[in-house]
Amino acid sequence: MASLSVRQAAFIGVGAMVGAGIFALLGAAGEVAGAAVWLSFLIAGVIAALQGYSFAKFGARYPTAGGLLEYVAKGFGNGHMTGVTAWLTYSANAIVTAMVAVSFGSYASDMFTDKSHAWAKVFAALVIVVMTAVNIVGSTLVARAQTVIVYVVLGILIVFAVVTIADMKPSLLAFSGYPPFHDIISAVALTFFAFLGFGIITFTAKDLPRPEKQLPRAMFLALGIATVIYVAIALGVFGTLTVDKVISSGGTALAVAAEPSLGKFGYWLMSVTALFSTAGATNAGLYPAAGLSDRLVETGQFPGVMARRLRGRASYGLLIQAVACLILAVAFKLDAIASIGSAVALLIFTLITAAHLRVRDETGANVIILVVAIVAAAAVLITFVFTTLIHERASIVTLLIILALSVLLDVGWKRRAGAGGAGPATEARPPGGAAPPGHGQPQV
């Protein structure tokens, strides 16, 4: 049976986090928080660490392929609350992974073609297909790929942070130029998007030899690395470029910030880093789909087809997730709804920690930390909704559609299962009554 080390599990999370946010969000966050984006990243890191504490305690007590969705079930049971949260997580992960793939496509198109929109879509689809194949091979290849990618990305980003901070102009980061504090808090919902990948670490519990000890270490190692990198990069970028320049540079802000110190070579170096980073995030984003689907089928939350294997190898749960990512990446302009990923994630994380409160005696978690985690995540979500999302009709409509679709999928599936004369536990099994293929061990 294949297994992961603490470093490999942490790097799966780091790979998902770094690719998901830092290359795409600096401009958007700068529009809200100005040069104080580094503070928004720091606050987002603290909130992620509070949630990470909850997840690590939960995961150490209940290591499972179901990851964070198992935690909801432990707190609220296998009813509609868990089912709706499961579909929300599955949907949000598809959106986030597709958006990261689109970011990969944009960088690849800029570097290798005439920067056409069509080629960006082609490259986005290509990285989704390739990383789906990597995940079909198994968790060991995922971990090896992430380790290589993360070492390359972190090495270059550290050099970038050191060079830009050494050359930065302190006046650009003066406190006198910061916006009101509520704007900095509102930007936390955007910068929190860059930390969404840490939840993926919970799905590595099934592949860790001693998850009760290794999962918390992997969780905090990943969050610590990501927070330090994000804060350092934000200081370097906004200390080198004006806020207006960062906003106008959009997703290439890091590459533009590298030019004053490293010239054209710096621009290309950061562009290559973005390719590695976004490819790694796509890889890590697809990783939970198979194990998550297997576990949710077994508990009756997903239809049995989600646990079946194509040719005995490729999980339908993974394949359906990949197809959803392909459709989203090719057919939609995802940067317009990127904030939806953060909003849904904050809602999910708040629900998970609320569930934790109900079983805290079993996990040994500190009730004060759990309450602070819930209040912090809920406060950021509410602030974000009423200061940013309320002015974006498309984002509000998309959020409501995702919520409604998750409810309809859960209710519809469970009614159908009940009408078929079998309860969820029976329906969850593949034909023959056997447990879902691959459940309890990685598919290698």
Q: What is the pLDDT of residues 211-258, one digit of tens each?
A: 888 888 999 999 999 999 999 999 999 998 889 988 887 666 777 888
pLDDT of residue 105: 87
**Measured CA distances, 327 to 4, 97, 134, 349, 428 (Å):** 32, 12, 20, 26, 27
CATH classification code of 6-417:
1.20.1740.10
* Residue ranges in the chain whose pLDDT is less than 70: 1-2, 19-21, 24, 64-67, 115, 139-142, 250-252, 333-339, 419-444
Contact 349, 197 (CB under 8 A): no
- Whole-structure pTM value: 0.76
pLDDT of residue 20: 54
pLDDT of residue 87: 87
Q: Which residues contact 190 (CB under 8 A, 6 or more apart)?
A: 25, 28, 29, 32, 40, 339, 342, 384
User: Which amino acid, 23?
Assistant: F
Q: Which letter, b or e, does each residue of 246-271 get, where b requires 16 or more Cβ atoms within 10 Å of its Cβ?
A: bbebebbbbbbbbbebbeeebbebbb
pLDDT of residue 442: 30
pLDDT of residue 319: 93
pLDDT of residue 248: 83
pLDDT of residue 334: 60
pLDDT of residue 45: 93
Nearest CA to 144 out of 309, 3, 318 is that of 3
Contact 196, 226 (CB under 8 A): no
304 phi and psi, to 5 degrees?
-60, -30
Domain ranges of the chain: 6-417
